């Protein structure tokens, strides 16, 4: 079973995808972590993240591996470094470039198809581009205020700061030319604003059972 989980920042993707993967004994693949790892490399090399040629230039020779909470960049574990505010902002900028997206999608498909016991894959373009034939597509949403509140609690930032981060990143992710953030036509849309984690996980598992029956 391959499940795609897309949605904007703070919609609950990571928490829900990890919980659903645990319940199903499947792999959890966080594709956002791959864009974040590339952003870290771009920052370390002091490259301009908005320059498509500069960013494309680092792709050959780059190795990013993700799975079940682990993220390595060229062999170095970077889980602890990729959630920093500067990496977060740059991840959404490097994700705009077509060469980057092609490179990422190739690698993502390879990991997903090798995952034993299926995969729960989270991102922005999983149901639309990476896995148009996923067994189940989930699109999580939540009000901007609630998403900012969650981000602030996770990161220890103020809600105002988090609101600014979430709204500027969403605007960039949803308006970019290549693979913008949007729900696939056949996605099950779940508004998580007023739902607990368990309620969202149960809704996903219910949608999966219905899909299996159909
Ligand atoms: O899911 P996240 O917040 O860790 O993702 C970080 C950034 O990476 C996000 O702002 C946009 C980009 N991204 C993307 O373009 N496509 C994906 N499938 C996943 C993430």
Distance CA 142, CA 152 (A): 15
pLDDT in tens, 89-136: 999 999 999 999 999 999 999 999 999 889 999 999 999 999 999 999
Atom 8 of ligand 1, nearest CA residue: 32
Domain locations in the chain as residue ranges: 2-207
With CA atoms as reference, report the closest residue to 89 among 193, 154, 171: 171
CA of residue 214 to ligand 1 center, whole Å: 31
| Cα 35 from Cα 29, distance rounded (Å) | 13
Q: Could you identify the atom of ligand 1 that is nearest to the CA of residue 35? A: 8
Burial class (CB in 10 A: 0-12, 13-18, 19+), 125: buried
Does any ligand 1 atom lie closer than 6 A to the CB of residue 150?
no
CB 151 within 8 A of CB 9: yes
Q: What is the pLDDT of residues 62-82, one digit of tens each?
A: 999 998 889 999 999 999 999
123 lines ligand 1 (CB under 6 A): yes
The model carries a pTM of 0.96
CA distance linking residue 110 with residue 10, whole number of Å: 27
* Residue in the structure block whose two tokens are 């034993």: 116
Output the residue whose Cα is nearest ligand 1's atom 9: 92
The domain 2-207: what is its CATH number? Answer: 3.40.50.300
């Amino acid at each position: 079973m391959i499940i795609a989980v897309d949605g904007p920042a703070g919609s609950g993707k990571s928490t829900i995808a990890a919980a659903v993967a645990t319940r199903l004994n499947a792999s959890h693949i966080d594709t956002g972590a791959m864009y974040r790892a590339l952003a870290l490399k771009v920052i370390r090399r002091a490259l301009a993240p908005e320059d498509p040629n500069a960013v494309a230039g680092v792709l050959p020779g780059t190795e990013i591996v993700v799975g079940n909470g682990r993220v390595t960049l060229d062999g170095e574990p970077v889980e602890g470094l990729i959630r920093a505010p500067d990496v977060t902002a740059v991840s959404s900028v490097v994700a705009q470039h077509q060469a980057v997206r092609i490179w990422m999608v190739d690698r993502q498909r390879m990991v997903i198809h090798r995952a034993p016991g299926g995969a729960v894959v989270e991102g922005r373009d999983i149901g639309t581009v990476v896995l148009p034939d996923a067994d189940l597509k989930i699109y999580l949403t939540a009000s901007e205020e609630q998403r900012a509140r969650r981000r602030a609690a996770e990161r220890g930032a103020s809600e105002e700061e988090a609101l600014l981060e979430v709204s500027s990143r969403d605007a960039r992710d949803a308006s970019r030319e290549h693979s913008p953030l949007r729900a696939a036509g056949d996605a099950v849309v779940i508004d998580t604003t007023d739902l607990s984690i368990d309620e969202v996980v149960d809704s996903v598992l219910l949608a999966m059972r219905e899909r299996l029956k159909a």
